[in-house]
Structure 1
Amino acid sequence: MITTARDGDVLVVTLDRPDRRNALTLDGLDALETAVADADAPVVLLRGAGPAFCAGADLDVVADIDPEDAEPFVRQGQRVARNIETADSVVVAGVDGAARGGGVELALACDLRVATDRATFAENGVALGLFGAWGGTVRLPRIVGEGEAMDIALSGRTLDAEDALRTGLVSRIVDDPRTVAQSIAANDERALSVLAARLRDDADAQTQERREAEAFADLLAHADIVGS
């Protein structure tokens, strides 16, 4: 269900269940969490096999969940998304095809999202009487703004790649997301990890500035800089 392959300084993590549009079961969530946590590369590219990125949680699994088990199921998905968000590696979501529900939420947890022109996005759980609960209500407004988040979530509408770019859901439309991951991986590995952590920091401004200064000093102590 989850496969990994090293491509230079990029670890490609593939949601590999194309017959189910890469929908995730409980075991699939655990395997994804392990793959990202065990990554031995400065950059991870998260992608889907076949014509979809990820359809989110497998609806057969969701349909069988008893109400008393719903919260633990959600907590598992939230934990996986949070561990992607705080991974030591820079995690790039390469969306080529449909991202729906939990698939959008996994992409939101990544450090950046790039799309091909075949990508589409929808938080369509509202049509089923549900909503994306793997941290989507937290991350979506933070990334696209509250107004756009309300529109995307409450309408359940489908965004194409251009819509996603306009709203800030993705940062680029590319032919091959792998090229973005490789260009990032060409930079200093230590600086990448530190910079990603600084940009993710949601502490108050004064704390962020203190941590920024400390991180810069630590990097400088290890940097090999030759003056002109």
Structure 2
Amino acid sequence: MKIYLEQNSGNPATPYTANIEITTASIDLNTKFKVPISQRVNGKTKYSGNICGFAVEGDHPDVVVSLIEKLILQLVNMARLPTYVFIARRSRKMFPVYTVEDQVFATTPGGPIFKHVELAKVREYLADYLNTTGQLGVPGKSEKLHVRGVHRETLALIRPIFYLKKRPLSATDDEFWAPVFTSRDGYSIYTYAASGRREVDIDNGYEVFWLRNQVAQALVADKRMSQNHDLRPDRLLPEYWER
């Protein structure tokens, strides 16, 4: 792994960028990431970086770079960096989620790995396990896991703009649930479904329908859904249309 600092002139809040190139250990080979290094002055100057929601901090930018390298190596699993991160807000815990072909994996520290073709089922299995073992929630009240994506350049967490959702129609049917994100350049929206990234250009709001249809067709072809119209946008809030 190669990491070098680049100074950001005229930006006191993030005076440095850690330029990262992974050369081994990951399928993200030769992918270049640019992680902002923030500066905080509160009696003593501190520098910090954030990788997939996990923060590192040090007294000097070089210390942060060293911590970032160690953190990335810890996060690489099955030769991959996380695609998503599940967040338990109340417990302030995070759980990396990986995709390998058509399988989604969630890991637990020193515990089992949960996998399924559907992100929704992995979240269900993981949440049940964590609440049952007392790692989340309080007696009599379970805690929900929230999903965030991972920005493919800065490695920061990104909030979904909406979801594509299919409710199970029978006891043997699985729920499909996929978060949708804005692309890095802001010109398209995308999600991961049926073993691939599904992406459409932004088109005055019609992109929601184009992406829904593209994902629905992929799920029908993969025999994971029977009818195109079983899939719907969910949590599509007014803020998206008011951009």
Q: For the superposition of Structure 1 and Structure 2, which TM-score range results when normalised by the shorter chain?
A: under 0.3
Higher helix share: 1
Which gives a bigger RCO, structure 1 or 2 (Cα 8 Å, sep 6+)?
1
TM-score of the superposition, structure 2-length normalised?
Answer: 0.24
Larger radius of gyration: 2
Higher strand share: 2
